[in-house]
Structure 1
Amino acid sequence: MAEKSFDVLIIGAGPGGYVTAIRGAQLGLKVGIVEKQHLGGICLNWGCIPTKALLRSAEIFHYMSHAKDYGLSAEKVGFDMKAVVQRSRGVSKRLNGGVGHLLKKNKVEVIDGEAVLQGQGKISVSKDGKAVGEYAAKHIIVATGARPRALPGIEPDKKQILTYFEAMVPETLPKSLLVIGSGAIGIEFASFYRTMGSEVTVVEVMNQVLPVEDAEIAGLARKQFEKQGIKILTGTKVASVKKAKDSVTCHLEDAKGKTQEITVEKVISAVGVVGNIENLGLEALGVKTDRGCVVTDGYGRTNVAGVYAIGDVAGPPMLAHKAEHEGVVCIEKIAGRNVHAFDKSKIPGCTYCHPQIASVGLTEAKAKEKGHKVKVGRFPFIANGKAIALGEDQGLVKTVFDEKTGELLGAHMVGAEVTELIQGYVVAMNLETTEQELMHTVFPHPTLSEMMHESVLDAYGRAIHF
């Protein structure tokens, strides 16, 4: 079989892989990309995009159910779960086709199958056990993503114990549900199912719901979740499960050894993800890995020359936008561009539950832990005219500054549309903006973004509207 050569070969066509491929083509490189299943990867097909479609349906259902609060009337409000899921899948299908078009437009060759590294600069590709071809490139980028992590003894069976794959396509609404893990995936599904009517319990082994978020923001979010009827148990683990025909009994244990049992119809396991590093030939080449991920530097380079890794497979934070930017830095470095090493400290995180949570940079606790003397500003949604007009007056914008330099160290929000607002602070941090520039920036009125301004002002004792 004749070997085909490229400048760059990319294994995996998720957000990191396909964006890297397109950028490589723009830079004049001959690029090939290998994908075994879906263009767009997990994010587009089974993650970020379809979950947002589900959450949008839940959001509209919530507003319809509370029409009276807005002076409106809506009778016999209901939903068709099959149609809700079909809409979500349709959104993914539409974008999947778009990725294919973009790759073709940029003359990126898509190779259908599974790739295995066969030595320095070489891969073989097979499909359903049959050889597709052999390919060579000076640079090979691994962008194989991640899969759901399974807890020993609580492995998903896809019927009663679900991963996000199965949770995304329910045939019917479960009457009761237990979610293991309160990170972004767990909380988003808890929010969706509770809004649609399920009785939901969330179990988190850490002492804080949304463990990576600022403690104050997480605490406010928890109050809102519990007000909606979500039961939250922190500092608690699922020690074991016992499945019956139509139910799962979960044996729970807290940090003090106190136990209880909860019986539910379904369980969603949302305890994180693990990188897809197996069966790629990485071990044979001596590529260094750590805790299920490939070890890389700020340019995506591994310890083996000519082999790179980006996205989830290269470690946390496991976010699509991190994968995309990491891939662009990697390919631009390969192309000889003068590019800065990837800085993970300014990557925003967003959780699309109700209320939304968004953050960037250091939490107040982490900033203090790193030795910063901080100034902290806060502004509540209840004091913002636009939030009140929207009927969304519960939330908070919080900013953390270095007292000595005025550097914006972090920003944290909970409330309506904060996933769209956070980027203002991300831009500010990337431009190394101080509190002075933010104070003198004119924010439009009436908007939710005014709270971002007021939070900065509050950090320096200058808040106007609260």
Structure 2
Amino acid sequence: MADGSGPYDLVILGGGSGGYACALRAAELNLSVALIEKDKIGGTCLHRGCIPTKALLHSAEIADQARDSEVFGVRARFEGIDVPGVHAFKDKIVTRAWKGVQGLLKSRGVTVVEGSGRLTGPTSVQVEGADGTVTTVEGRHLVLATGGAPRSLPGLEIDGTQIITSDHALTLDRVPSSVIILGGGVIGVEFASIWRSFGAEVTIVEMLPHLVPLEEESSSKLLERAFRRRGIKSELGVRFESVKTTDTGVVVTLEGGKTLDAELLLVAVGRGPVSAGLGFEEAGVAVERGFVKVDGLCRTGVETISAVGDLIPTPQLAHVGFAEGILVAERVAGLNPVPIDYDGVPRVTYSDPEVASVGLTSTVARERGHDVVEAVYDLAGNPKSQILQTQGAVKVIAQKDGPVLGVHMVGSRVGELVTEGQLIYNWEALPSDLAQLIHAHPTQSEAMGEAMLVLAGKPLHVHN
């Protein structure tokens, strides 16, 4: 283990998904590692993102099940949302995971340095502790993993009470009576789902023509239809113009002059990298629009510095951060990792219904010159989906006479199904091979098997 007398093999600035995964893998490969974190190990994902939002979404699902229990022949009463109880459940999950990560780092001999770090050269980081003490940590190689933060729009001031970000939403002490959500991407859609299940009136404003606009268009349309049934309103293809706060809430004006009023405005227009004022450019690191520029192996233009996670312009997903952190640790340790195929990374929106995908959309596949064939299997034909009372579909796109190029799903719990799609896409599997495989009955996974049977020319439980 390195101590004050010499440099660490690896110094990592930021203890979120990318940073701590890099630290764990590097320590496993017998590198001496220092991990610098100003807040809590686990970063956005563990404390302000993936884990707490999914806990809230599960509470929301339980609320819906209680309301709808008679559909299943069960007499339960829905008596409302105990907000402190919801937070206690969420915080228990987060705390347990946080302690788990801390224990892993300790057991592998990673030195955790608490404080705000700033580059002072290509191999040195200056750390200011909470008490104001300043130390310099030296590393033969540095990894930048400072993550991201909620963004706003020019002139749109976040006040933390009436105009809030997802960070504020996660600790809100009440269920708002009504919310306008600016942004129909993953974060906006998930909070819309939570608040609607908790009883709020919700309107999503999205300047692009569809919700979750990065997904297959048919998936977006299925989600929009499900949201309409749930009473979630949407203003699509329209730009936000301004917002005024009042004694009772907010008044939002859209282009064309239409106004909406609600108790809260959630600004969910995306997340930006945390890179300003950290000494990156001064150390020679190229930064563009706040993102650190890297090659396919997460190397910056400075030989001793790599960067991972939400700080670089790759998909802003915790599991991408994990993979990039592992890749950098292995490269620094002298192994020969291969670049990540970002198309092969699964993507999940955990709303009700969920939206999950891996691989290419049909639009991107055609843009890349593929001769595309498609199959859609409606979950209406899947008995387990009927039991769960969920609607949606599995859409598979493939190269004509070739491998599967993309899998796109909408429905309850499809996030748990996308792993099969990940294997199919990444192993360049053929529909004819997949059609030979037997799925357990009755499961939702059969929907994937049925779509493959369609592509293989031998549909089973498919009308028309």
Q: TM-score, normalised by structure 1?
A: 0.96
Residues 4, 135 of structure 1: 8 Å contact kept: no
Q: Once the two structures are superposed, what CA deviation does each residue of 1:156-210 show, in whole Å capped at 9, x if it has no partner?
A: 1100011001111111111110000011100000000011110000000101111
The within-5 A match list for 1:7-18 is 7-18=9-20
- Following TM superposition, by how much is the alpha carbon of 1:123 offset from its aligned partner in structure 2, in angstroms? 1.2
Q: What's 1:326 paired with?
A: 324
**1:395 counterpart = 2:373:** no
The within-5 A match list for 1:337-376 is 337-376=335-374
Distance in 2 of aligned mates of 1:3 and 1:122: 14
Structure 1 letter corresponding to 2:272 = V
SS in 1 for 2:244: strand
Q: What's 2:289 paired with?
A: 291
- Following TM superposition, by how much is the alpha carbon of 1:79 offset from its aligned partner in structure 2, in angstroms? 1.9
The within-5 A match list for 1:123-202 is 123-128=125-130, 130-202=132-204
Structure 1 letter corresponding to 2:393 = L
Among 207, 213, 217, the residue aligned to 2:215: 213
Residues 432, 455 of structure 2: 8 Å contact kept: no
**1:106 counterpart = 2:103:** no
Deviates more, 1:97-106 or 1:290-299: 290-299
Q: What's 2:432 paired with?
A: 436
- Following TM superposition, by how much is the alpha carbon of 1:294 offset from its aligned partner in structure 2, in angstroms? 0.6
- Following TM superposition, by how much is the alpha carbon of 1:354 offset from its aligned partner in structure 2, in angstroms? 0.2
Residues 85, 170 of structure 1: 8 Å contact kept: no
Structure 2 letter corresponding to 1:137 = G
SS in 2 for 1:331: helix
Among 414, 431, 435, the residue aligned to 2:410: 414
Among 407, 420, 423, the residue aligned to 1:427: 423
Among 27, 37, 40, the residue aligned to 1:38: 40
Q: What's 2:459 paired with?
A: 463
**1:81 counterpart = 2:83:** yes
Where structure 1 has 5 or more consecutive residues not aligned to the other structure, the ranges are none
Distance in 1 of aligned mates of 2:379 and 2:167: 35
Structure 2 letter corresponding to 1:331 = A
SS in 1 for 2:358: strand
Q: Which runs of 4+ in 1 moved over 4 A?
A: 1-4
Matched-pair identity in %: 37
SS in 2 for 1:305: coil
- Following TM superposition, by how much is the alpha carbon of 1:338 offset from its aligned partner in structure 2, in angstroms? 2.1
Q: What's 1:244 paired with?
A: 246
Deviates more, 1:424-433 or 1:163-172: 424-433
Q: Once the two structures are superposed, what CA deviation does each residue of 1:260-281 show, in whole Å capped at 9, x if it has no partner?
A: 0011100000000000111221
Distance in 2 of aligned mates of 1:191 and 1:271: 17
Structure 2 letter corresponding to 1:225 = F
Distance in 1 of aligned mates of 2:78 and 2:94: 30
The within-5 A match list for 1:440-455 is 440-455=436-451
Distance in 2 of aligned mates of 1:447 and 1:215: 26
Where structure 2 has 5 or more consecutive residues not aligned to the other structure, the ranges are none
Among 86, 95, 98, the residue aligned to 1:96: 98
- Following TM superposition, by how much is the alpha carbon of 1:336 offset from its aligned partner in structure 2, in angstroms? 1.0
- Following TM superposition, by how much is the alpha carbon of 1:129 offset from its aligned partner in structure 2, in angstroms? 6.8
Structure 2 letter corresponding to 1:441 = L
Structure 2 letter corresponding to 1:458 = V
Structure 1 letter corresponding to 2:275 = I
Distance in 2 of aligned mates of 1:220 and 1:76: 28
Distance in 2 of aligned mates of 1:379 and 1:461: 14
Distance in 2 of aligned mates of 1:132 and 1:442: 61
Residues 348, 360 of structure 1: 8 Å contact kept: yes
Instruction: Mark the CA change 1:460 to 1:437 in structure 2 (over 3 Å): closer, same or farther.
Output: closer
Distance in 2 of aligned mates of 1:111 and 1:298: 29
> Aligned-residue CA RMSD in angstroms?
1.3
Distance in 1 of aligned mates of 2:162 and 2:249: 7
Residues 310, 327 of structure 1: 8 Å contact kept: yes
Distance in 2 of aligned mates of 1:237 and 1:326: 35
Q: TM-score, normalised by structure 2?
A: 0.97
Residues 378, 459 of structure 1: 8 Å contact kept: no
Distance in 1 of aligned mates of 2:151 and 2:170: 17
Residues 403, 429 of structure 2: 8 Å contact kept: yes
Distance in 2 of aligned mates of 1:398 and 1:322: 24
Q: Once the two structures are superposed, what CA deviation does each residue of 1:380-399 show, in whole Å capped at 9, x if it has no partner?
A: 1100111112222x110001
Distance in 2 of aligned mates of 1:205 and 1:451: 33
Distance in 1 of aligned mates of 2:69 and 2:412: 17
Aligned residues: 460
Distance in 2 of aligned mates of 1:364 and 1:136: 48
SS in 1 for 2:133: strand
- Following TM superposition, by how much is the alpha carbon of 1:316 offset from its aligned partner in structure 2, in angstroms? 2.9
Instruction: Mark the CA change 1:139 to 1:259 in structure 2 (over 3 Å): closer, same or farther.
Output: same
Q: What's 2:280 paired with?
A: 282
- Following TM superposition, by how much is the alpha carbon of 1:431 offset from its aligned partner in structure 2, in angstroms? 1.9
Q: What's 1:49 paired with?
A: 51
SS in 2 for 1:139: strand
Residues 15, 42 of structure 2: 8 Å contact kept: yes
Q: What's 1:203 paired with?
A: 205
- Following TM superposition, by how much is the alpha carbon of 1:226 offset from its aligned partner in structure 2, in angstroms? 0.8
- Following TM superposition, by how much is the alpha carbon of 1:440 offset from its aligned partner in structure 2, in angstroms? 1.5
